[in-house]
Amino acid sequence: MFENLTQRLDKIFQNLRRRGKLSAEDVDMVMREVRLALLEADVHYSVVKDFIARVRERAVGVEVSDALNPAQQVIKIVNEELVATLGEPARLNLSGPKPWVLLLVGLQGSGKTTAAAKLARLLRAQGERLMLVAADPYRPAAVKQLQTLGERVGVPVFHEAGVKPPDLVAKAYDQASKGGYTVMIVDTAGRSQLDDALMTELRGITARVKPTDTLLVVDSMIGQEALRVAQGFRDNVSLTGLIMTKMEGDSRGGAAISIRHVTGVPIKFLGTGEGIEALEVYDPARLSSRILGMGDVLGLIEKAQQTYDEKSAREQAERMMSGQFTLEDFAKQLGQVRKMGPFSQILEMLPGQLGQAAKSIDPKDAERQFKMTEAIISSMTRQERRDPDVLNASRRRRIARGSGTDVSDVNRLIKQFREAQKMFKTIQKTGGRGLGRLLGG
């Protein structure tokens, strides 16, 4: 997410930190570089113009000239103005009579159906009782796709063949009301372009049920075209929020920075991957921090909280500190980390020097190493996982064949595991003293 922009800004700020007091010329030079970086990231030119003007006005004033560290002050101003450009955080409107109706609209291929299931999963985890409504009778397999996703997240899907979408949604609302459901998420039909038939159908649906939120699902990879799409829907239906999808695949991502400023419609969620769990509540401050290479510690903690079994984690920690840590525990920990999402997304959330160091890690190579490690451990017997001392040469050859790896890969994993065991024993004996020397400083 925002990979190119983050790299460009990081380079600009690294150069800025090498300077002492900043002159107006220094600020102008930095602003030119930031302007080019934003334009290359596909941020709308009017947004860039306003943003640079606000930052420059603050950066050449007393706010920076009197600062002990002018470079850090400029970065602070850029961060604050970027947060302001990204807009205020907006939450779902879950108020009024139940069931609350969340209407998802958008063009074909924007990811509405998957977004509906992701949203259902998120709200179900918050204790809501949900129903999904398949109101797209036109796209082949649209209903089946939603039904499959509904089964995965444990949410029922309402559909009746041959019923027009406005009538279908009205029937679903009646059933949801009688069934005690608190939230009804409607997956509407998309079109390949904005057209009158699509808008007429949406207006028909909103006339039959009153949505508490009408959310436009926008593919962030279409760049500034996303602004035209958002404006088109806003002019025809009462949009209350946006869900930006495919953020993980868009290294530029300027639409997310521009869209609130240009359309006035708040972003409420970001889709950050194909996995059903890859949906983030939009937070401008945290997104700005990630764009500027400062990481997102809160987001990382939330991912861990959603993934980790607290009881299991406590038991594993106790086993580690007692020296009983096994390859079975190691495999469980890897599985927990992989549930948090793609390794590249975890790395970009790391802050400060840790985040800088993580940039030297190739996420694809890390994913490959994860898979190799899992394959090697899966090819072991239970005895071998619990007692690696029994792994003689013939057993290691068998494990390598079974996992599709080399014996050297198996040997490397066992060596890493032994080093981890050694580290935990050192912590247990010394209370952490000497750990720095063990880790090479």
104-116 pLDDT per residue, tens? 999 888 889 999 9
Q: What is the pLDDT of residues 219-248, one digit of tens each?
A: 887 777 888 888 888 888 888 999 988 877
SS3 content of the chain, % helix, strand, coil (to 5): 60, 10, 30
Which residue ranges make up each domain of the chain? 3-86, 100-286, 301-438
Reported as half-sphere exposure (CB side, CA atoms, 13 A), residue 30 has a value of 29
Looking at the chain, the whole-number percentage of residues with pLDDT higher than 90 is: 27
Q: Do the domains 100-286 and 3-86 match in fold?
A: no
Pairing of strands 183-188, 100-105: parallel
Token pair 């987001």 is at which residue? 299
Do 258 and 11 contact (CB within 8 A), yes or no? no
Q: What is the pLDDT of residues 19-60, one digit of tens each?
A: 666 677 878 888 888 888 888 888 888 889 999 999 888 877
Fold of 301-438: 434 Repressor (Amino-terminal Domain) (1.10.260)
Report, as an integer, the average pLDDT of 247-252: 62
Least confident interval from 32-46, 83-97, 331-345: 331-345
Q: Is the pLDDT of residue 354 over 50?
A: no
> In the structure, what pLDDT confidence band is assigned to residue 155 with cuts at 50, 70 and 90?
very high
Average pLDDT, the chain: 80
Residue 135, classed as helix, strand or coil, is strand
- Using CA atoms of 109, 111, 114, 115 in order, give the dihedral in degrees to the nearest 10: -160
Q: Which residues contact 314 (CB under 8 A, 6 or more apart)?
A: none
Q: May I ask the CATH class of domain 3-86? A: mainly alpha
Which amino acid, 376?
I
Distance CA 259, CA 137 (A): 30
Q: What is the pLDDT of residues 383-413, one digit of tens each?
A: 888 888 898 999 999 999 998 999 999 998 8
Q: Is the pLDDT of residue 78 over 80?
A: yes
Highest mean pLDDT among 140-144, 148-152, 194-198: 148-152
Report, as an integer, the average pLDDT of 281-302: 66
Q: What is the pLDDT of residues 188-209, one digit of tens each?
A: 998 777 778 888 999 999 999 9
- pLDDT value of residue 317: 60
Q: Is the pLDDT of residue 1 over 70?
A: no
Least confident interval from 6-20, 34-48, 184-198, 423-437: 423-437
30 or 436, which is more confident: 30
- pLDDT value of residue 441: 38
- pLDDT value of residue 146: 94
Ranges assigned E (strand) in 220-310: 241-245, 267-271, 279-281
Q: What is the homologous superfamily of the domain 100-286 according to CATH?
A: P-loop containing nucleotide triphosphate hydrolases (3.40.50.300)
